[in-house]
Chains A and B, each alone.
Chain A
Amino acid sequence: MADRRVLVEAVDLEKRFRRFHAVRGVSFHCYAGEVFGLLGPNGAGKTTTIRVLTTILRPTAGTGRVAGHDVVRNPAEVRRMIGVLPENAGVYGRLTGRDVIRYTGRLHGVLPDVLEARLQAICERLDLGSHLDRLTHTYSKGMRQKLNIARALVHDPPVVFLDEPTSGLDVISARAVRDVIQGFKQEGRCVIMSTHVMEEAERLCDRVAIIAAGRVRAQGRLEDLKAQTGLGLEEIFVQLVAQTVA
Chain B
Amino acid sequence: MIRAAWPWLRSRRGAREATQGEMQRWIQTVYAKEILEALRDRRTLFVMIVLPAIFMPVATLGIPYLAQRQQHMIQTATPAVAVVGEARGLVHLAYATKLITPVRVGDPVAALRQRRVRAVLRIPPRFEDTIARDGQAHVAIFYNASDSESTAARARLVELLSHYSQQVVARRLAARHLNPRDLLPVVLDEQNVATERQVSGLLLASLLPFFIAMWAVVGGMSVAVDLAAGEKERGTLESLLIAPVNREAIVIGKFLAVVTASMGAVIVVLITMMVSLHWGYPYLLHTTQRLDVSLPPGTAVVMLGVALLFSALVSAVQLAVSIFARSPREAQQYVTPLYFVTVLPALAVQFVSEWQRSGWAYLVPVLNAFFAFRELLLGTVNWGHLILATVSSAFYAALALEIAVGLMNRESVVFRT
Interface residues of A (CB under 8 A from B): 17, 51, 54-58, 75-77, 79-80, 82, 84, 86, 88-95, 99, 103-104, 106-109, 135, 148, 151
| Distance of A167 Cα from B37 Cα, bound (Å) | 28
| Distance of A95 Cα from B245 Cα, bound (Å) | 20
Contact with A along B225-246 (1 / 0, CB 8 A): 0000000001110111111110
- Which of B14, B30, B239, B241 counts the most chain A CB atoms within 10 A? B239
Decide yes or no whether B133 CB sits under 8 A from chain A.
Answer: no
List, in ascending order, chain A residues with CB within 8 A of B22's CB: 109
Interface residue ranges of B5-47 to A (CB < 8 Å): 14, 17-18, 22, 25-26, 29-30, 33, 36-37, 40-41
Partner of B239, one of A55, A75, A109, A151: A151
List, in ascending order, chain A residues with CB within 8 A of B29's CB: 103, 106-107
Q: Quote the shortest CB–CB distance from B250 to chain A (angstroms).
A: 9
Partner of A86, one of B18, B33, B239: B239
Q: Quote the shortest CB–CB distance from A93 to chain B (angstroms).
A: 7
User: 23 A-B residue contacts at CB 8 Å?
Assistant: A51-B238, A54-B242, A57-B415, A58-B411, A84-B242, A86-B238, A88-B235, A89-B236, A90-B234, A92-B37, A92-B234, A94-B36, A95-B33, A95-B36, A95-B37, A106-B25, A107-B240, A107-B243, A107-B245, A108-B243, A109-B22, A109-B244, A148-B239
Do residues A80 and B244 form an inter-chain contact, with CB atoms below 8 A?
Answer: yes
| Distance of A108 Cα from B242 Cα, bound (Å) | 10
Closest to A152 in B: B239
Q: Contacts A56-B411, A92-B37 hold; do A82 and B242 have CB atoms under 8 A apart?
A: yes
| Distance of A80 Cα from B245 Cα, bound (Å) | 9
Do residues A76 and B244 form an inter-chain contact, with CB atoms below 8 A?
Answer: yes
List, in ascending order, chain A residues with CB within 8 A of B415's CB: 57
Closest to B37 in A: A94
Partner of A108, one of B18, B37, B236, B244: B244
Do residues A86 and B242 form an inter-chain contact, with CB atoms below 8 A?
Answer: yes
List, in ascending order, chain B residues with CB within 8 A of A107's CB: 26, 29-30, 240, 243-245
Do residues A103 and B234 form an inter-chain contact, with CB atoms below 8 A?
Answer: no
Closest to A77 in B: B244
Q: Quote the shortest CB–CB distance from A37 to chain B (angstroms).
A: 20
Interface residues of B (CB under 8 A from A): 14, 17-18, 22, 25-26, 29-30, 33, 36-37, 40-41, 234-236, 238-245, 411-412, 414-415
| Distance of A55 Cα from B412 Cα, bound (Å) | 14
Do residues B241 and A56 form an inter-chain contact, with CB atoms below 8 A?
Answer: yes
Closest to B412 in A: A17
Partner of B242, one of A56, A92, A109, A135: A56
User: Number of residue pairs across A and B with beta carbons under 8 Å?
Assistant: 75
| Distance of A9 Cα from B53 Cα, bound (Å) | 58
Do residues B244 and A103 form an inter-chain contact, with CB atoms below 8 A?
Answer: no
- Which of B40, B235, B236, B244 counts the most chain A CB atoms within 10 A? B244
Interface of B is mostly: helix
List, in ascending order, chain A residues with CB within 8 A of B18's CB: 76
| Distance of A135 Cα from B26 Cα, bound (Å) | 23
Partner of A55, one of B17, B40, B242, B414: B242
List, in ascending order, chain A residues with CB within 8 A of B241's CB: 56
Do residues A90 and B411 form an inter-chain contact, with CB atoms below 8 A?
Answer: no
Q: Quote the shortest CB–CB distance from B22 to chain A (angstroms).
A: 7
Closest to B18 in A: A76
| Distance of A80 Cα from B22 Cα, bound (Å) | 14
Partner of B244, one of A79, A94, A99, A151: A79
Q: Quote the shortest CB–CB distance from B242 to chain A (angstroms).
A: 5
Q: Quote the shortest CB–CB distance from B97 to chain A (angstroms).
A: 68
Do residues B411 and A89 form an inter-chain contact, with CB atoms below 8 A?
Answer: no
Q: Contacts A103-B29, A106-B29 hold; do A92 and B236 have CB atoms under 8 A apart?
A: yes
Do residues A99 and B239 form an inter-chain contact, with CB atoms below 8 A?
Answer: no
Do residues B236 and A56 form an inter-chain contact, with CB atoms below 8 A?
Answer: no
List, in ascending order, chain A residues with CB within 8 A of B33's CB: 92, 95, 99, 103
- Taking A56-B242, A76-B244, A91-B236 as known contacts, 18 extra A-B pairs with beta carbons closer than 8 A to each other, sorted by chain A number, are A56-B414, A57-B415, A58-B411, A77-B244, A79-B244, A88-B235, A90-B234, A91-B234, A92-B33, A92-B37, A92-B234, A94-B41, A95-B37, A95-B40, A106-B25, A108-B243, A109-B25, A151-B239
List, in ascending order, chain A residues with CB within 8 A of B36's CB: 94-95, 99
| Distance of A135 Cα from B42 Cα, bound (Å) | 14
List, in ascending order, chain B residues with CB within 8 A of A57's CB: 411, 415
Q: Contacts A56-B411, A57-B411 hold; do A90 and B243 have CB atoms under 8 A apart?
A: no
Q: Quote the shortest CB–CB distance from A29 to chain B (angstroms).
A: 21
Do residues B238 and A56 form an inter-chain contact, with CB atoms below 8 A?
Answer: yes
| Distance of A232 Cα from B414 Cα, bound (Å) | 39
Do residues A104 and B234 form an inter-chain contact, with CB atoms below 8 A?
Answer: no
Q: Quote the shortest CB–CB distance from B232 to chain A (angstroms).
A: 10
Closest to A58 in B: B411
List, in ascending order, chain B residues with CB within 8 A of A84's CB: 238-239, 242
List, in ascending order, chain A residues with CB within 8 A of B239's CB: 84, 86, 89, 104, 148, 151
Q: Contacts A95-B37, A106-B25, A107-B29 hold; do A90 and B242 have CB atoms under 8 A apart?
A: no
| Distance of A141 Cα from B239 Cα, bound (Å) | 17
Do residues B235 and A104 form an inter-chain contact, with CB atoms below 8 A?
Answer: no
- Which of A54, A82, A109 counts the most chain B CB atoms within 10 A? A109
List, in ascending order, chain B residues with CB within 8 A of A103's CB: 29, 33
| Distance of A226 Cα from B236 Cα, bound (Å) | 38
